[in-house]
Amino acid sequence: MQAIDWLIIMGGPMNIYEHDKYPWLKSEKEYTRAAIDAGKTVIGICLGAQLIADVLGARVYPGAHKEIGWLPVELTKEAAHSDIFGFLPEQLTCFHWHGDTFDLPDGAVHLAKSEGCKNQAFIYYNRVIALQFHLESTSESVADIISHCQSEIVPGRFIQSLGIIEKDGNHFFDGIQSAMFGILDRLDGNRFSAGY
């Protein structure tokens, strides 16, 4: 663990409980837990957020709704008072592509929610961040997800059509990338000021 300062865990089409199909999930969970225990800065996005929730003892399970497309998240009051998230607007339209969700781990601070998913983000000990949504998305990464997972775009309350996903992205990429860089900058500064 001495070789790293940060661990960033990205998304994927699998579920965190599919150990038979994806045996590497077990070692990924062990590594994630070790990084958290070692005091590292850890960020999980989508599947990565679910892995963090799992290793911190929270339940991960299929949500009531899948969320696919450009949908708003609402920041909590706790997020508004956070050194890391307080610069963000009360509502931010982000890219989503997930069906599972998680409960909040003990000791975690709830950061964001949406109409379709009450637990969209949390922070743990001010250095472990779980984001269910995608702030890192680019036009290229969204096109890649669509090319591999387009079959998941079916009628649903929180599933947008392919046309809307492709058209709306042009309005939101700058905002989510600015949010992502702002979080990373503040998290990096916080790591030093908090003594981690």
Q: What is the pLDDT along the chain (196 residues), one digit of tens a residue?
A: 889 999 999 999 999 999 999 999 999 999 999 999 999 999 999 999 999 999 999 999 999 999 999 999 999 999 999 999 999 999 999 999 999 999 999 999 999 999 999 999 999 999 999 999 999 999 999 999 999 999 999 999 999 999 999 988 889 999 999 999 999 999 988 644 443 3
Residue 195 domain-assigned?
no
Q: Per the structure, how many domains does the chain have?
A: 1
Provide the sign of the torsion angle of the four alpha carbons 179, 6, 38, 14, taken in this order. Answer: positive
Q: What is the pairing mode between strands 91-102 and 108-113?
A: unpaired
User: What is the pTM assigned to this prediction?
Assistant: 0.93
Residue 14 domain-assigned?
yes
Instruction: Residue 115: give its domain's CATH number.
Output: 3.40.50.880
Are the C-beta atoms of residues 164 and 70 closer than 8 Å to each other?
Answer: yes
Give the domain extent around 52.
6-188
Task: Write the single-letter amino acid at 178.
Answer: S
Residue 33 domain-assigned?
yes
Report the C-alpha gap between 140 and 146 in whole angstroms: 10
Q: Which helix (H) or strand (E) holds 97?
A: strand 91-102
Residue 132 domain-assigned?
yes
